[in-house]
């Protein structure tokens, strides 16, 4: 079966979606990095650990939608910076624990993140546009592969 190329309109939609995503994430990530030294992926990991302060590595990979290798490399870098600890709780299960340093960095980054999201995304859109993005996101989230 030969796949048909995207039509010009389909390509414009895809390209607009990608650019919007990459642009906003890039701006927010740069703001966090400049203010706190955390990368966007580090912020994402710390943010997900913040609730209970710990999570099984496998659950974290699922929440981030990352493969095992990517997460493992990211966690190694974060452990070297004392942002997280890894604790083996049985033969197979690894618990990722937010450290005091990680919590402090996350606490410093949260208001930067909020301000940047407001400035780079929310303030540029009408309420109707925001509602549309949420509806589209919910619709796309229902797609099964």
- Dist. CA 107–CA 109, nearest whole Å: 5
List of residues 6+ apart from 54 with CB closer than 8 A: 95, 96, 97, 98
Position 60 in a domain: yes
Q: pLDDT by residue for the chain (145 residues), tens digit each?
A: 567 999 999 999 999 999 999 999 999 999 999 999 999 999 999 999 999 999 999 999 999 999 989 999 999 999 999 999 999 988 889 999 999 999 999 999 999 999 999 999 999 999 999 999 999 999 988 755 4
Position 9 in a domain: no
Position 94 in a domain: yes
Q: What is the pTM of this model?
A: 0.84
Pairing of strands 54-56, 94-98: antiparallel
Collapsed DSSP state (helix, strand, coil) of residue 95: strand
Read off the CATH number of the domain in which 58 is found: 1.10.10.10
**Total domains in the fold of the chain:** 1
């Amino acid at each position: 079966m030969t796949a048909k190329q995207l039509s010009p309109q389909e390509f414009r939609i895809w390209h607009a979606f990608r650019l919007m995503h990459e642009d906003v994430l890039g701006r927010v990530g740069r703001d966090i990095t400049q203010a706190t030294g955390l990368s966007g992926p580090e912020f994402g990991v710390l943010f997900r650990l913040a609730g209970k302060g710990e999570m099984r590595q496998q659950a974290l990979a699922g929440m981030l939608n990352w493969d095992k290798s990517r997460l493992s490399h990211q966690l190694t870098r974060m452990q070297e910076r004392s942002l997280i600890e890894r604790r083996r709780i049985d033969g197979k299960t690894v618990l990722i624990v937010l450290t005091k340093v990680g919590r402090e960095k996350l606490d410093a980054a949260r208001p930067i993140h909020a301000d940047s999201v407001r400035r780079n995304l929310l303030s540029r859109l009408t309420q109707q546009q925001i509602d549309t993005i949420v509806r589209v996101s919910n619709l796309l989230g229902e797609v099964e592969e």
